[in-house]
Amino acid sequence: MRLYQITELEQLTGIKAHTIRIWEKRYNLIEPDRTSTNYRRYNDEQVRKILNVSTLLINGYKISKIAALTEKEIHARIHEIQSNTSEDIICAGFINDLVASMISFDEPAFEKTYSAVINRLGLFDAMLQVFYPLLNKIGLLWSISDVNPAQEHFASCLIKRKIMAATDGLPAAKSKKKKFLLLLIPDEMHEISLLFANYIIRSKGHETIYLGQDVPYENISLVLKQTKPTILLTFFTVPKDPKEVYLDFKKNLQLNESIKLLVGGHTGITEHLKNKLSAIIISKPADLLTYL
């Protein structure tokens, strides 16, 4: 079990470190461990409790009232919130629940929250309102070492699995006018945006060829020749020199005017490809829907 610094707890929960210290003194809300140099350390259970407190605060509860509740009563209040509150506030609570289950690698809890999100919002709105914000949050946390890569992989793998299952349940393509080739170039490993794009395209009845992550250029070139897609869609999450990406595309893929290039992700790269290859930039799922 990992122990968290108070600055990490602040980042995970959105509650200021100063406020957490006050709660400890005034309400005895949690009692952290201490290092030999008297620095606070918080365990997984305490992090989950503060995440739950954060959800109740968002919904108008006073900290004095929350501090008087038992753990069972806190969970009951959160359940009530999920039944009766506005979408934005509910989504913030869902994100806190998912972060809590991710921290402790609690797959049953993650699955339960995921099901609640999907039942309430559907996959498309769930991705926009809950799972994208979640991934942005844990991506930021990972970058400052608040969440380790294993926790991020745990969450992202579960979400990927769900998107793939939803995509498998879609009917076969109805339209043959547009054929999409979806892939990530070498060294690109973050696949969720690509999977969600595949789901959106398939849900609109278009044909897709899905190659996935980290595809060698020679394989992409071969598939382009064999399948003759009308659109190539890819995302860039790893920082790269935009000029090098352009040169790699020009040298290895030999795209012609019959193939549209749709790109998302790193702004420097996408803007450069827009200028050099007339690529269409997909900044958000709504842009893809507009294109379709």
Given a cut of 80, is residue 93 above it in pLDDT?
yes
Mean pLDDT score across all residues of the chain:
86
Q: Of 278 and 84, which is predicted with more confidence?
A: 278
> Does residue 114 sit in the same domain as residue 207?
no
Instruction: Provide the b/e sequence for 180-202 (b: ≥16 CB within 10 Å).
Output: bbbbbbeebebbbbbbbbbbbbb
Q: What is the pLDDT of residue 140?
A: 56
Q: What is the pLDDT of residue 148?
A: 63
Count of structural domains within the chain = 2
> Does residue 127 sit in the same domain as residue 258?
no
Q: The CATH number of the domain where 285 resides is what?
A: 3.40.50.280
* Pairing outcome for strands 260-265 and 231-236: parallel
Single residue among 105, 138, 165 that ends a domain in this structure? 165
Single residue among 165, 187, 213 that ends a domain in this structure? 165
8 A C-beta contact, residue 57 and residue 23: no
8 A C-beta contact, residue 199 and residue 167: yes
8 A C-beta contact, residue 54 and residue 80: no
Single residue among 97, 131, 165 that ends a domain in this structure? 165
> Does residue 110 sit in the same domain as residue 72?
yes
Q: What is the mean pLDDT of residues 28-51?
A: 85
> Does residue 277 sit in the same domain as residue 202?
yes
Half-sphere exposure of residue 16: CA atoms within 13 angstroms, side-chain side: 3
Query: Which residue range(s) make up the domain with 211?
Result: 172-291
**Burial of 78: CB neighbours in 10 Å, binned 0-12, 13-18, 19+:** middle
Q: What is the mean pLDDT of residues 207-234?
A: 94
> Does residue 133 sit in the same domain as residue 182?
no
> Does residue 81 sit in the same domain as residue 198?
no
Nearest Cα neighbor of 178 from 288, 277, 264 is: 288
Q: What is the pLDDT of residue 139?
A: 65
Residue 267, helix vs strand vs coil: helix
Q: What is the pLDDT of residue 183?
A: 96
Given a cut of 70, is residue 141 above it in pLDDT?
no
In a domain, 123, yes or no: yes
- The runs of H, that is alpha helices, within the chain are 6-13, 17-27, 44-58, 63-67, 71-84, 87-103, 107-126, 132-143, 149-168, 192-203, 217-227, 242-252, 267-277, 285-291
Nearest Cα neighbor of 261 from 185, 147, 172, 149 is: 185
Reported as a single tens digit per residue, the pLDDT across 44-83 is 788 888 888 888 888 788 999 999 998 888 888 877 766 6
Which residue has 């019959």 as its token pair? 258
